[in-house]
Structure 1
Amino acid sequence: MESILKIENIEKYYGNKTNLTKAIDNISFEVQRGEFVAIMGASGSGKTTLLNCISTIDKVTSGHIRVAGEDITKLKGNKLNKFRREELGFIFQDFNLLDTLTAYENIALALSIQNVSASTIEKRIKQVANQLDIEKVLNKYPYQMSGGQKQRVASARALVTSPKLILGDEPTGALDSKSAKMLLERFEALNKELKATILMVTHDAFSASYASRVIFIKDGKIFNEVIRGDSSRKVFFNKIIDVVTILGGELNDAL
């Protein structure tokens, strides 16, 4: 299998010599093409810092992060911006849609920046809108949509450029349970049918149970991982809860 994401001995420090915090402590792992991987951990465990480093929002102190063979820790300036724009797709908890643009225009923006032709933009948007069941809201503005619809539009914006890696930062965090379940089912379908490679940080065991593998972070290190394999989602959910229990504390505290 092809490795889409390769994390090699990364460390991340914050602060100065008198007050130094090690947020990531020598983490290494890989994500293969077509995998759906969730990252879980307690608040302050380092999972968000890890995602920020992978998404190029933050920089590692040492180590390497390779996406589709490209060492992103060495990219700077326009090369970094181009890579972020063309190879990574972002799905945020708070949607990050532009209120003055329709759903169609929000999705199209990602392609317009890449100078894609109008006819190709229309074709790609129709395709991704069908996959995420948002055809009926393409001409609506964000204030006219439900939270679930907005998150699916945000997901379409991330997918429409066909990125090598899709990064989700608590993508279901602002959704009600019904909308969250619908979005996760779409993610699962996109992963299985289109072989989309997804890395999702989540505090929620239910959300993580839709992934094919879950990596647990504790105190900046990889604590454990569980692989779904042929297990049902319910069985996998129970495996996730077992690790959470080992991590200690109440479920809501640990996640």
Structure 2
Amino acid sequence: MEKLLSVQQIQKYYGSRGNVTKALDHINLDVDKGEFVAIMGPSGSGKTTLLNCISTIDTVTSGHIIIDEQDITTLSQKKLATFRRNHLGFIFQDFNLLNTLTAFENIALALTIQKVNPKEIEERIHTLATQLGITNILSKYPYELSGGQKQRVACARAIITHPSLILADEPTGALDSKSSRLLLESLEFLNTKLNATIMMVTHDAFTASYAKRILFIKDGKIFTELIRGNNNRKDFFNRIIEVVTLLGGDTHNVL
């Protein structure tokens, strides 16, 4: 497999002298192209900090993060903004759709910024919308959509620029069970059919069971990992619960 992401000995400290918190403690990990990786861990374990550093939202205290052979820890803010726009896709818990734009316009925005030909924009959006089952809502505004529909529009927006890596932060956190399942099936489709590389932070074992590999973080360090392999999703889910129990978590918080 071809390596897409390499996290090397990263540390992240918060606070000032006399009151310092170590959020990440010499973390190393690799993600190959086409993988679907979930990150789990107790509250305060560092999982969101890790995602924020990889997504360029936050900076590391030390160490290196290499995406597509580019060490993002060495880039200036201007170059980081360009890298983020061209290489990363984002799916947020609160959707982050612009209420003044239709679903089509929300998806098209990044392509418009990249000055893609309008005809190509329309073709790419309609192809992807068909694949995600959102063709009939493209002309609607976010306030006219359900949570699940908004999140699938967000999925389309994240993948439309063909990013190297899609980063999802608690993508099912604001959804009911039916909408969550539809979203996770969309992510699974993006991964298996479109070969999208996805890294997803979640506290939810059901959500994590859709991934192919799970990294568990505790106290800012990699605690262990699970690989789905040939397990069906139900068996993988049960294995996840076992690790959550080992971590000392409350299983009521992950179901």
CA distance in 2, matches of 1:95, 1:197: 19
- Aligned residues between the structures: 255
CA contact (8 A) 1:248 1:254 kept: no
CA distance in 1, matches of 2:45, 2:253: 12
Partner of 2:180 in structure 1?
180
CA contact (8 A) 1:24 1:220 kept: yes
Deviation at 1:127, TM superposition (A): 1.5
Residues 215-234 of structure 1 mapped to structure 2, 5 A cutoff: 215-234=215-234
Bigger Cα displacement from structure 2, 181-190 vs 143-152: 181-190
Write the letter of the residue equivalent to 1:95: F
The normalised TM-score by structure 1 is: 0.98
CA distance in 2, matches of 1:10, 1:73: 10
Write the letter of the residue equivalent to 2:129: A
CA distance in 1, matches of 2:115, 2:57: 24
CA contact (8 A) 1:247 1:254 kept: no
CA distance in 1, matches of 2:93, 2:252: 18
Q: Does 1:105 align with 2:105?
A: yes
Q: Does 1:50 align with 2:56?
A: no
CA distance in 1, matches of 2:68, 2:239: 30
Residues 59-70 of structure 1 mapped to structure 2, 5 A cutoff: 59-70=59-70
CA contact (8 A) 1:41 1:254 kept: no
CA distance in 1, matches of 2:150, 2:249: 34
Deviation at 1:146, TM superposition (A): 0.4
Residues 19-98 of structure 1 mapped to structure 2, 5 A cutoff: 19-98=19-98
Q: Does 1:139 align with 2:144?
A: no
Deviation at 1:77, TM superposition (A): 2.7
Partner of 2:193 in structure 1?
193
Q: Does 1:122 align with 2:122?
A: yes
Deviation at 1:184, TM superposition (A): 0.5
The normalised TM-score by structure 2 is: 0.98
Unaligned runs of 5+ in 2: none
Percent identity between matched residues is: 66
SS in 2 for 1:200: strand
Q: CA offsets, 1:110-142, max 9 Å, x none?
A: 111111110111111111111211000000000
Unaligned runs of 5+ in 1: none
Partner of 1:161 in structure 2?
161
The 4+ residue runs of structure 1 with deviation greater than 3 A are 252-255
